[in-house]
A and B are shown apart, each in its own frame.
Chain A
């Protein structure tokens, strides 16, 4: 049973437009959420995170929104750039545990020039 789900395997957007990547979770114990970006043949790199006590966190072009009641989070990238083309993984953890991340299956974002 997947506790973190990314239901869209792929997403294509035009350069300059907004990219919205979605993630749902089922375990209400999760209290910290992260987004990782992964290029081919490289390890995932941390992008942005949000604690469950917040509903929004911004870092430049990247904003993560958290809706705890719906157990849903989303990553907004504005404006999208061709260099943003990568696989994006949503991950969640319970900070009372030994920092074990539970990952979603990833969304391949393609930004078209």
Chain B
């Protein structure tokens, strides 16, 4: 099992550009989440999904969009990148009924 994979590892965008951060898991986990990590603030939940076709907002959803068409994939879209979205983004998954989240290696995003 590859676990949770994220692409790309690094990305530089200009203000106003859009892009999609990819996340995939091969553990057949129902729950998937996106977090951002900023210095001194820990990880904050952006969006999450409890299963294919079902998504909901977390603590900091503004400027981001998600969809979940399959169990395996949970992409995060930045609609119009802003410098405030410079961060490290982590995707995580959890099996149904479980409490332990398994994290991907992260995507470091810089918005100029």
Identify the A interface with B (CB < 8 A).
4, 6, 9, 32, 34, 36, 41-46, 49, 89, 93, 95, 98-106
Contact = CB atoms under 8 A, between A and B. Distances in A.
B103 A98 contact: no
A22 B56 CA distance: 31
Contact of B45 (A6, A44, A49, A101): A101
Interface stretch (B13-21, B69-77, B93-101): B93-101
A46 B102 contact: yes
Nearest to A4: B42
Contacts of B100: 34, 46, 49
Majority secondary structure of chain B interface residues (helix, strand, loop or mixed): strand
Contacts of A101: 33, 43, 45, 101
Contact of A99 (B42, B44, B99, B105): B99
B60 to A, nearest CB: 12
Interface of B: 4, 31, 33, 35, 40-45, 48, 50, 56, 58, 90, 92, 94, 98-106
Contacts of B41: 105
Given A41-B106, A43-B4, A46-B101, A106 B31 contact: no
Given A43-B90, A43-B105, A32 B99 contact: yes
Given A98-B56, A99-B31, A89 B42 contact: yes
B99 A100 contact: no
A89 B43 contact: yes
A39 B98 CA distance: 24
Contacts of A100: 33, 45, 48, 58
Given A34-B99, A103-B42, A106-B42, A42 B31 contact: no
22 contacts: A9-B40, A34-B100, A36-B103, A41-B106, A42-B105, A43-B4, A43-B104, A43-B105, A44-B43, A93-B99, A98-B31, A98-B48, A99-B33, A99-B48, A99-B94, A100-B48, A101-B33, A101-B43, A101-B101, A103-B42, A103-B43, A106-B42
